[in-house]
């Protein structure tokens, strides 16, 4: 029986300010947390036993998922008392008797429609010590790059190559491991799967790659997080989605694909989309223009606001005639006063009130 170990304990510093108030795995993709999507994928593979490796803001994950009964899986928690890296929880799980046989390991920051059952069956057919799920990307320099032979065996694995990468096939952050891999994980923490474990496995056994051709994105930085939402939107709702409880005013223009969640109110004359996600209980005033953006749950946006290609955290308030340029990220419960201008790529930390223009591009407002 295969068990799924999902790694959710990281600090996710590159996603701040969003991750100052919640772990990365709880950031929403469309209308539900990323971890919900991952658990649903595990369940579709007929896997009932899930271990969540947790540390940073672990109470938020535990309070949402509990014992897993709401999700029709059995969830146990592996609490990290200190940072273990992404390989350390594998060893810890075995030392505590949580895992004995073949197991899945899934990064908690990956959004994908990968069929996990197909991956497991491929692993069993090949008979190797490990199988890596792989994806094709346009910018492989940011990832672990893999070269395969004609049989699907991994010939080389280069973590974030500094020079021209030998392929555009990269580590997708989902693995099937046999239990003997544990003896190749360093006993000293922290340790990394890509730096310490995979290179060693390539020396001692057969490691295979399974190339996934569908949706795949990590959410390591804000632009990746937006991209994951765009992918989900285009795949699941190419013609857009408006929840039946949403109230859409007169003369509102929606350019699809766009996602309008539960109990959203959009004032007359506003224009939304494309590639825009409006989460539950957001209220948008009249004559607003929002495109390419994610507006999280409970945010209030007053009249005549313009927001482009940005992320607005939960329960924020955006005053009248505010203009938010591309690439801005607001943490949760930010207040922006009327007529304020926010320059491109600015970052505003949670609970901050902004009373004057932010003219410097990329400025961090503490």
Q: What is the C-alpha separation between 268 and 249, in angstroms, rounded?
A: 4
167 and 146 Cβ atoms separated by less than 8 Å: yes
Neighbour-count burial of 1, counting CB atoms closer than 10 A to its CB (0-12 exposed, 13-18 middle, 19+ buried): exposed
Distance CA 86, CA 196 (A): 10
Residue 364, token pair as written in the block: 């961090």
- Cβ-based neighbour number of residue 214 at 10 Å: 11
| 202 touches 196 (CB < 8 A) | no
Cα separation, 300 vs 52, whole angstroms: 34
Chain position carrying tokens 């939107």: 233
Distance, CA of 320 to CA of 318 (rounded, Å) = 7
DSSP states along 275-331 = SEEE-TT-EE-TT-EEES-EE-TT-EE-TT-EEES-EE-TT-EE-TT-EE-TT-EE-
**Catalytic site residue from 48, 153, 160, 352:** 160
Is the preceding omega at residue 17 within 30 degrees of 0, hence cis?
yes
363 catalytic residue (yes or no):
no
C-alpha to C-alpha distances, 309 to 26, 152, 202, 264, 265, nearest whole angstrom: 21, 39, 42, 20, 20
Please give the positions annotated as active site: 160
């Amino acid at each position: 029986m295969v068990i799924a170990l999902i790694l959710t304990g990281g600090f996710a510093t590159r996603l701040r300010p969003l991750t100052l108030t919640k772990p990365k795995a709880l950031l929403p993709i469309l209308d539900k947390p990323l971890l919900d999507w991952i658990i649903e994928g595990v369940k579709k593979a007929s896997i009932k036993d899930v271990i969540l490796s947790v540390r940073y803001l672990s109470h938020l994950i535990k309070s949402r998922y509990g014992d897993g009964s709401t999700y029709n899986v059995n969830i146990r928690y592996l609490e990290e008392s200190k940072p273990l890296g992404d390989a350390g929880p594998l060893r810890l799980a075995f030392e505590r008797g949580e895992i004995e046989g073949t197991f899945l390991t899934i990064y908690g920051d990956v959004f994908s429609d990968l069929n996990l059952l197909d991956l497991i069956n491929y692993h069993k057919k090949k008979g190797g010590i490990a199988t890596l799920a792989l994806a094709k990307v346009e910018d492989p320099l940011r990832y672990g790059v893999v070269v395969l032979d004609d049989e699907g065996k991994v010939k080389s694995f280069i973590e974030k190559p500094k020079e021209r990468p030998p392929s555009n096939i990269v580590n997708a952050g989902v693995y099937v491991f046999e239990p003997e891999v544990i003896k190749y994980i360093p006993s000293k923490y922290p340790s990394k799967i890509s730096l310490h474990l995979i290179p060693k496995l390539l020396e001692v056994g057969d490691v295979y790659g399974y190339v996934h051709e569908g949706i795949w994105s990590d959410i390591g930085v804000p632009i990746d997080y937006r991209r994951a939402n765009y992918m989900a939107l285009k795949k699941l709702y190419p013609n857009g989605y408006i929840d039946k409880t949403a109230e859409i005013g007169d003369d509102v223009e929606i350019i699809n694909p766009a996602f309008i969640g539960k109990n959203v109110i959009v004032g007359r004359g506003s224009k939304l989309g494309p590639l825009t996600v409006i989460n539950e209980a957001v209220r948008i005033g009249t004559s607003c223009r929002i495109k390419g953006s994610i507006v999280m749950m409970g945010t209030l946006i007053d009249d005549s606001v313009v927001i482009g290609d940005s992320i607005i955290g939960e329960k924020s308030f955006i005053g009248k005639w505010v203009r938010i340029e591309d690439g801005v990220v607001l943490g949760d419960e930010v207040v922006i006063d009327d007529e304020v201008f926010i320059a491109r790529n600015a970052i505003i930390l949670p609970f901050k009130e902004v009373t004057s223009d932010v003219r410097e591009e990329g400025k961090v407002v503490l």
